[in-house]
Amino acid sequence: MKRALLAVFFIGLLAVSGLAQTYDVASDTTWPPFEWADAEGNLLGFDLDVMRCIAALQGFEINIISYDWDIIFDDVGIGRADIGASGATITDDRELKVDFSDPYWSSDQAILIRADSGLNIVTALSLGYTVGAQVETTGAGFIQGLIDAGVSVILVEYTLYPLAVLDLINGNIHAVIQDEPASVASATAEEELAIAGIIKTNEDFGFFVAEGDPNGLLPLINAGVAQLKTLGVYENLRLAYMGPGILAVEAAWKASIGLLDAGNVVDFAQSLADLANQ
């Protein structure tokens, strides 16, 4: 009896593994609108849905895992997770640890301040004020670059972006630097905050895998991104996530995700964009 059960178990295991390869996708899910958890704990966001659509089109399964930003490149680099999808700018330093896909998003940095502080983008970054950033982000790198060049500004780094924003509201720091869409989300949510200005850094976001791409995923991801653009899916995901606001897109996502589960990538993105922008 025991042996029979064991046999059934192994046959089941083989059947499951034979269906489609499942890859672990690491994402720091504390960064709307690119990745976050809704009120029921569902993980959604621009990056995650782009990745889900690529997986559906290219015929592999993904399992999204909430990761801490400060270990995400290390862990994908050593193969603890297979793919990184976390609004990561492609930089030379990171290329040492991981391999990036083709760019799928272009971003600039924004400076977030308290609306009543009277600072502007120049004064906030040059008169000895304190600027917060998430650790090991390109925003933090930008401020460090200013410091190295002799500009009078102080950098404070946080493990979580929301804690930097909280410190800004509490008056412990004078500004926060980070990517534009996330800054817009913060300024929309908090009346006290405003965007002092945009720094045109022209950064490219890429998905990333371990050095040398051991699972052969980059060609699939690159082909997938290209497919999403020709199908109009990419544009619909952009319309859904960049603008309408978190509650609107969460409701739209819940109503639409069934379409993606059924493999209908195009209708999913269309429905998401339509419902979110109603």
Q: Which residues bind another protein (CB under 8 A)?
A: 29-32, 36-41, 65-68, 71, 74-75, 78-80, 160, 162, 165-166, 169, 185-186, 189-190, 246-247
Alpha-carbon distances, residue 77 vs 28, 89, 222 (angstroms): 15, 16, 19
Which is nearer to another protein, 166 or 226 (by Cβ)?
166
Is omega for the bond preceding 33 within 30 degrees of 0, making it cis?
A: yes
Which is nearer to another protein, 1 or 39 (by Cβ)?
39
Q: How far is the CB of 235 from another protein (least distance, A)?
A: 24
Alpha-carbon distances, residue 26 vs 63, 74, 86, 259 (angstroms): 9, 11, 7, 24
- Percent helix, strand, coil in the chain (nearest 5)? 45, 25, 30
Which is nearer to another protein, 36 or 234 (by Cβ)?
36
Tokens of 212: 């040398």
Which is nearer to another protein, 199 or 251 (by Cβ)?
251
Q: At what angle do helices 246-261 and 233-241 cross, to 10 degrees?
A: 150
- Parallel, antiparallel, or unpaired: how do β-strands 105-114 and 175-179 relate? antiparallel
Which is nearer to another protein, 58 or 80 (by Cβ)?
80
Q: How far is the CB of 67 from another protein (least distance, A)?
A: 5
Per the listing, tokens 């509490």 go with 170
| Residue 125 φ/ψ, nearest 5 degrees | -110, 10
Tokens of 37: 């958890």
With beta carbons less than 8 A apart as the criterion, state whether 178 and 107 touch.
no
Which is nearer to another protein, 190 or 204 (by Cβ)?
190
Q: How far is the CB of 116 from another protein (least distance, A)?
A: 16
Q: How far is the CB of 228 from another protein (least distance, A)?
A: 26
* Rounded Cα gap, residues 180 and 199, in angstroms: 9
Q: How far is the CB of 76 from another protein (least distance, A)?
A: 12
Which is nearer to another protein, 146 or 246 (by Cβ)?
246
Q: How far is the CB of 191 from another protein (least distance, A)?
A: 9
